Amino acid sequence: MMTIKIVTDSSADLDQALIEQWDIHVISHLIEMDGKQYLDRVNITPAECLEYMKQSPDVPKTSQPPIGAFLELYEQLTADGSEVLSIHISGQLSGTVSTAYMAANQVDGKVTVFDSHFLSKTLAFQVIEAAKMAKEGKTVEEIIERLEKIRENSRLYVVLDTLEFLNKGGRIGKGKALLGSLLKIKPIAAIHDGVYTPIATVRNYNQAMKHMLQLLKEDTQGKVLKAISVGHAGGLKRATQLKNKIMELYENVTIQIDETTPIIGTHTGPETVGLMYFVE
């Protein structure tokens, strides 16, 4: 029976215990601060990136893993005849998937690349499911069919504390950021078809939390909540509040709180909170 090995990137926010439990191979994104380059979650943490953002007028620069990292890992994993299934951050948010495709076409072994259309835990949901199915002896085709269903039924919502860092990163204009600051607007965005899409603006975090909880209730109506996670960028207190509110609605669910990838945090800034789940 052909062995299938699972690869992803560091934007999946997988903790080390899960990586080891399911034998997942993770390629790190690159983060540049003060002219120095770091490997995401290898020699720099999300918390260190956020602290830099608070102290510096500059935003850390993030970039996709280099093609050499993919080539080296793919060649290593396929050397014994194994297949590779490489699952990555949305191609609309990063060039990682494109780089993975290029590398896959340059190695002799069989490598299949899959665009999750997500990042953070909504990417991790797919990666962990793929790893479980690979252990069960499922084929790549069977795994991808399952991932497509998870992808279709996943949701990611994020609430920003400020528009300042979207402005610093060139995502919005200075005038819009200033207006948002004066009005104390907190935007809520979702990922639709792999792209960040603004869906609402509210005046405070309590309103944002109510809005996200309402979306969760609507999405789970008549369905089963299969997995759920709360992520944050330096916003543990708010993330805990959201978790507690969800636990009031769904008593038997397990909700993990994680500090999210700098791929999100560098654009959204400190105090960002995200809600991620999938239903069936």
| pLDDT tens for each residue of 219-272 | 999 999 999 999 999 899 999 999 999 999 998 899 999 998 887 777 777 788
The CA distances from residue 81 to 2, 18, 19, 74, 110, in Å, are 8, 25, 22, 11, 8
| pLDDT tens for each residue of 38-97 | 999 999 988 888 888 888 878 788 899 999 999 999 999 999 999 999 999 999 888 999
CA distance 81 to 108: 10
Whether residue 175 is predicted with pLDDT greater than 50 in this model: the reply is no
Domains in the chain (CATH in brackets) are: 4-29+64-152 (3.40.50.10170), 154-279 (3.30.1180.10)
